[in-house]
Amino acid sequence: MAKRRLLLLLALFLAFSSAKSQSFIGVNYGQVADNLPPPSETVSLLQSTTVSKFRLYGADPAVIQSLAGTNISLVLGVSNSDIASLASDPVAASNWVAANVLPYAPASSISVVSVGNEALNSGDSSLASNLLPAMQNLRSALSASAAASGVKVSTVHTMAVLSQSDPPSSGAFHPDIAADLTGILGFLRDTGSPFMINPYPFFAYRSDPRPETLAFCLFQPNSGRLDAGSKLTYTNMFDAQVDAVRSALDALGFPEVEIVVAETGWPYQGDPDEVGASVDNAKAFNGNLVAHLRSLVGTPLMPGRSVDTYIFALYDEDLKPGPASERSFGLYRADQTMNYDAGLAKSTSSSSPITAPASTSTDAGPPPAGVTGLTQPAGWCEPGATLQGSADGRPTQAGAQCYIPNAVRSRTALGACRLFLYVTLALLLT
Report, as residue numbers or ranges, the catalytic residues: 118, 263
Bridge-based pairing of strands 309-311 and 25-29 is parallel
Backbone angles phi, psi at 130, to 5 degrees: -90, -10
Using CA atoms, how far apart are residues 72 and 68, in angstroms rounded to an integer?
8
**C-alpha distances in Å from residue 420, one per residue of 300, 350, 413, 416:** 22, 19, 10, 6
**Cis bond before residue 282 (omega within 30° of 0):** no
According to DSSP, residue 353 is labeled P
Chain center to CA of 230: 23
User: In a 10 Å sphere around its CB, with 0-12 CB exposed, 13-18 middle and 19+ buried, how is residue 348 labelled?
Assistant: middle
According to DSSP, residue 356 is labeled -
Backbone angles phi, psi at 297, to 5 degrees: -65, -40
Backbone angles phi, psi at 60, to 5 degrees: -65, 115
Buried b (16+ CB within 10 A) or exposed e, 11-40: eeeeeeebeebbebbbbbbbeeeeebeebe
Q: Do the beta carbons of residue 115 and residue 134 sit within 8 Å?
A: yes
Nearest alpha carbon to residue 143 among 134, 153, 157, 133: 153
**C-alpha distances in Å from residue 296, one per residue of 292, 416, 419:** 7, 9, 10
